[in-house]
Structure 1
Amino acid sequence: MRATRIIAAALIALSSCMAWADEPDQAIRKTLENLQMDVPIESIAASPLNGLYEVRMQGGRVLYASADGKYVMQGYLFEVNDGKPVNLTEKAESEGIAKTINAIPTSEMVIYPAVGEAKTHITVFTDTTCPYCHKLHGEIAELNRRGVEVRYLAFPRQGPGSEGDNQLQAVWCSSDRKKAMDQMVAGKDIKAAKCENPVHKQFALGQNIGVNGTPAIVLADGKLIPGYQPAPQVAALALKAK
């Protein structure tokens, strides 16, 4: 009888611990629901800092919250060991972005393959009306020569219905997207029948992961590089991130 009582007490204690463990998750979810967050929550887990919970949003963004959900913050959490800081937030966000971007089928992209063996790849959110996107586009051959595959996603920076949106949809609806992209960047008109395309979906994805301008370069490890950088610099970063 005594053994039975001990086992019963242990089960009750375990049940209480499990219920308590669920409370932060539920409290934080309720708070974010009340805040009408448009991006779904992917996971909630204890962060390395006692009392602070890491909330990973779909697409890669990271928030932090107190266990009771009363406090929510967005910002960088650093871990310092031997005087050397590690940006835990940036690391977590990069992991989430890489997971999201690398899951996109290449059939939904415009691909410029590396010359010879592909050593790594970059994914570029682009807009055919963006001058700096044109500048980067002119350096794709150099990136390809250095073993970097370039993958384009659409990001009409002025939103749906803009000139960039119409141009990008024409590119994605062309039978040869690569040729159409080259011609569009060169200032030529592209005639393509309307079709089902991922342009608006890719635009929304870019917004979710923090893209707010073009070009926006995502390395293979999920690190987001905003704005234009010369091909040798991009290649060096990309090869380190493979």
Structure 2
Amino acid sequence: MRKQVFSIVALMVTGVLGASSGTAGVVEDQISEHLSGAVPGLEISTVRESEASGLYEVQSKNGDTVYTTRDGAYLLTGDLLKITGDGIANVTEQARAGHRKQVMDSYGEGGVIRYKASNEKAVIDVFTDIDCPYCRKLHDEVPQLNDYGITVNYYAYPRSGPGRPSFTKYISVWCADDQQSAMDSAKAGKTVAAATCDNPVLEQFQLGKSIGVTGTPAIVLEDGNIVPGYVPARKLAGGLGLL
């Protein structure tokens, strides 16, 4: 998205993004058309009027957000903050969370490796890498998370990408007869028998990219908010209001 933003700024300076006019509904389409034409490869998910008067929120399919004026002539990057009676609210992060929840709900739980809590009170979706040290640290605490009533759904996110050892290991874990046992062994640094089958590893890796996952573990909460990195089980349970 950074290269795209630089391209957009350059195009603004040269006036490529000309002014547009139209009524509500038409404006969003015109903004989308302008940006898509000006920045090849930019895939826009939604354009909608922002709660900040005069600005429109543009959400790309990879979860990035920028803001534009009604005529499409100016763009703003970065988070939009709102001063409220309780302090400052991050409007952009709220939008990201909404987009993330929508994408995760649309994908569903097909293909996840699940560690279900018997007294389920909350569910977290964790994008994980077999070889990530902090992913292993989090995995060691999965029984504790389950005891707190937190179900853990694992989604594949081998950071090195397709064709690399971590990617292949995750495929072997997913294709194992006992996925949980294979995951436990792999997270402990043990060798898992090589296996291949139809699997969702690449699809889940791309899913992670589409919602803005850049590192592991990445914990996606039920409301779409994301917690980057390892969080101790007790602290996570407390943050979810379970203690």
Instruction: Give the shorter-chain TM-score range.
Output: 0.7 to 0.9
Structure 1 residues 103-144: Cα deviation after superposition (integer angstroms, max 9, x where no partner): 333231010011x32100111110001111110000000000
Q: Does 1:74 align with 2:74?
A: no
From the superposition, tell whether residues 196 and 74 of structure 1 become closer, same or farther in structure 2 (CA, over 3 Å).
Answer: farther
Q: Which amino acid aligns with 1:174?
A: A
Structure 1 residues 183-216: Cα deviation after superposition (integer angstroms, max 9, x where no partner): 1112222224322211111111211221111111
Matches within 5 A, 1:161-200: 161-200=163-202
C-alpha contact 1:64 1:74 (8 A) present in aligned 2: yes
- Pick from 49, 53, 58 the counterpart of residue 55 of structure 1: 58
Q: Which runs of 5+ in 1 are unaligned?
A: 1-17
Taking the aligned partners of 2:124 and 2:240, their CA distance within structure 1 comes to 7
From the superposition, tell whether residues 173 and 74 of structure 1 become closer, same or farther in structure 2 (CA, over 3 Å).
Answer: farther
Moved more, 228-237 or 138-147: 228-237
What CA RMSD, in Å, does the superposition of the two structures yield over aligned residues? Answer: 2.0
SS at match of 1:108: coil
Q: TM-score, normalised by structure 1?
A: 0.83
SS at match of 2:186: helix
Q: Which amino acid aligns with 1:89?
A: T
Structure 1: which 4+ aligned runs deviate by more than 6 Å? none
C-alpha contact 1:132 1:228 (8 A) present in aligned 2: yes
Q: Which amino acid aligns with 1:180?
A: A
C-alpha contact 2:170 2:201 (8 A) present in aligned 1: yes
Shift, 1:83, TM fit: 6.2
Structure 1 residues 8-28: Cα deviation after superposition (integer angstroms, max 9, x where no partner): xxxxxxxxxx95324422332
SS at match of 1:103: helix
Structure 1 residues 24-64: Cα deviation after superposition (integer angstroms, max 9, x where no partner): 223321233131345x4332111111221012333644321
Number of the residue aligned with 1:134: 136
Q: Does 1:99 align with 2:87?
A: no
C-alpha contact 1:61 1:208 (8 A) present in aligned 2: no
Q: TM-score, normalised by structure 2?
A: 0.83
C-alpha contact 1:143 1:235 (8 A) present in aligned 2: yes
Number of the residue aligned with 2:218: 216
Shift, 1:227, TM fit: 0.9
Number of the residue aligned with 1:3: none
The total of aligned residue pairs comes to: 221
> Computing the radius of gyration over CA atoms, which structure comes out larger, 1 or 2?
1
Paired-residue identity, %: 39
From the superposition, tell whether residues 19 and 73 of structure 1 become closer, same or farther in structure 2 (CA, over 3 Å).
Answer: closer
